[in-house]
Each structure stands twice: as C-alpha cells, then as structure tokens.
C-alpha cells in the first residue's frame, strides 16, 4: 500500500460511462487518484499486477472473467490491493461469493458519493464497509456452513487472552465501539488490539477475520449477535 500519498484506485467495470462517472467522483477528492481502468475481470487482474493499486473498485458482472473470479485471481497477483466489490443487484450470493474470494467490502452502485469515497478509505485502512443486512447474511451463512474439510490450521495460539476476546467479538460482527462497550476498553485500545489480532492470525482485514473465526468453529452459536443497525 502507499504511505502518505493519495490512495491509488483501479476501476474495473465493463460499462465505459460508469467508469467515467467513478473517475470524476474520485478525482474530485484530494486523497484519491485513479491509476487505471479495466473493462473486464482479466484486464483488471493484469492491470493490478502492473499498477499495484491500493484499492480496486470491482464490478461483479463483467465479460471474460467476472468480478468474483477476478477478485480471487487478484488476491494472488496483487495481494496488497484491497477489493471493493460494486454491483447493481443487492444479491446475497454475490456479496458472499466476493467476500469468500478475497474482497474487503461490498457496495451497491447506487451508493451516494460520500458512501463510495468513505468505503474506499475504509477498505484502505483495513476496515470492512458492509451494510448491516449484508453483515448479518454473511454471519448467518458462515454459521450454517459445515466444518471445513480438512480442518484448517488454527493461527490463534499466539493471541493473548485479551486479543482472543477481541478476535471472537470481531467474529460475531461487533464494531470497535461495541467491542469497547463489551470489554470496557477505550476505542483507541480496541483499534490497537484489532490491528495486532489481524497481524497475528494472518487476516487481510476485518471481514476475513470474521470468516476465519467461523471456519475455526470458535464461536458459541448461542451467543447473541449484535443488532442490525
């Protein structure tokens, strides 16, 4: 990722007018710069490998290679890039498939300008811009999945007791503010713990920590989930 410079964004969408619209929105922001455009998923992966963007805006329905397959490929060729999936359709299987493939967030194309730019900044920070409804669907679907076969390695052994508490709260979909209230910690302290947890368990970002916690079957199914906000 880039340091103190602007956030480098690659736009992948098969419709030229949409790419133009996104470019106009993003380049009006002082901290965002568009480094390239792709008209299909294969081109997006190729450009990401060459241009090394910080964030990729990835359409789901594209020719040659769709956004979900392109996200999986991009995770291999440009592992530092964060993918924000955009779609016209609020379909749960697309959100779930994209997140499973390695996307860091999911947003509808009709999101407001401020929502889009905020989501890009959040993905770049390692946060997860998901609507409460999509978050709940993700948690429900993860909870309903059978245990992974073969069992995946458990990387949580290096966590301190407090970090494990934070990790499990993240796995249940709690925000930093909710974890702060639950564990009687300041939000800044929670943020520090979250960063350490992600590094220790090898999760790209928050959403993948959620997926990992469920795959490891570390959560009590009877534990109440946070309310939809």
Q: pLDDT in tens for each of the 229 residues of the chain?
A: 445 789 999 999 999 999 999 999 999 999 999 999 999 999 999 999 999 999 999 998 888 998 899 999 998 899 899 999 887 766 557 767 888 888 888 888 888 899 899 989 988 887 776 665 666 677 677 767 766 655 678 899 999 999 999 999 988 888 888 899 999 999 999 999 999 999 999 888 888 888 888 888 887 654 554 443 4
Confidence (pLDDT) at 134 = 66
108 lies in some domain = yes
169 lies in some domain = yes
Asked which of 129, 161, 183 is the last residue of a domain, the reply is 129
226 lies in some domain = no
**What b/e string do you get for 72-110 counting C-beta neighbours within 10 Å, with b at 16 or more?**
bbbbeebeebbbbbbbeeeeeebbbbbbbbbbbbbbbbe
Confidence (pLDDT) at 229 = 41
Q: Verify that 44 and 114 share a domain, yes or no.
A: yes
Residue range(s) defining the domain that contains residue 196: 141-215
CA atoms within 13 A on the CB side of 96: 14
The CB density around residue 51, as the number of other CB atoms within 10 Å, is 15
Residues in the chain, total: 229
Q: Verify that 80 and 151 share a domain, yes or no.
A: no
61 lies in some domain = yes
229 lies in some domain = no
Q: Verify that 151 and 199 share a domain, yes or no.
A: yes
Q: Verify that 158 and 182 share a domain, yes or no.
A: yes
134 lies in some domain = no
Q: In what order do the strands lie in the sheet with 105-108?
A: 32-38, 7-12, 55-59, 82-87, 105-108
Cβ-count burial of 112 within 10 angstroms (0-12 exposed, 13-18 middle, 19+ buried)?
Answer: exposed
Confidence (pLDDT) at 132 = 58
Nearest-angstrom CA–CA distance, 195 and 205: 9
Q: Which secondary structure element, helix H or strand E, spans residue 171, and what is its range? A: helix 161-171
Q: What is the tally of structural domains in the chain?
A: 2
Nearest-angstrom CA–CA distance, 46 and 77: 8
């Amino acid at each position: 990722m880039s340091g103190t410079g602007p956030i480098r964004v690659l736009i992948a969408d098969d419709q030229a007018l949409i790419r133009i619209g996104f470019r106009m929105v993003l380049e009006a922001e002082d901290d965002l710069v568009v480094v390239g455009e792709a008209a299909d998923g294969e081109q997006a992966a190729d450009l990401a490998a060459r241009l090394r963007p910080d964030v990729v805006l990835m359409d789901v329905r594209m020719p040659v290679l769709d956004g979900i397959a392109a996200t999986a490929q991009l995770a291999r060729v440009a592992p530092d890039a964060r993918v924000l999936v955009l779609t016209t359709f609020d379909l749960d299987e697309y959100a779930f498939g994209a997140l499973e493939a390695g996307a860091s967030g999911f947003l509808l194309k009709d999101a407001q300008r401020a929502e889009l730019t905020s989501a890009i900044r959040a993905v770049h920070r390692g946060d997860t811009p998901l609507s409460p409804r999509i978050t709940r669907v993700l948690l429900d679907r993860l909870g309903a999945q059978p245990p992974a076969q073969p069992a995946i390695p458990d990387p949580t052994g290096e966590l301190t007791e407090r970090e494990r508490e934070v990790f499990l709260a993240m796995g249940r979909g709690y925000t930093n503010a909710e974890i702060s209230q639950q564990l009687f910690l300041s939000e800044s302290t929670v943020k520090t713990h979250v960063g350490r947890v992600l590094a220790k368990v090898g999760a790209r970002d928050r959403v993948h920590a959620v997926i990992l916690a469920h795959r490891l079957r570390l959560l009590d199914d009877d534990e109440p989930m946070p309310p939809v906000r």
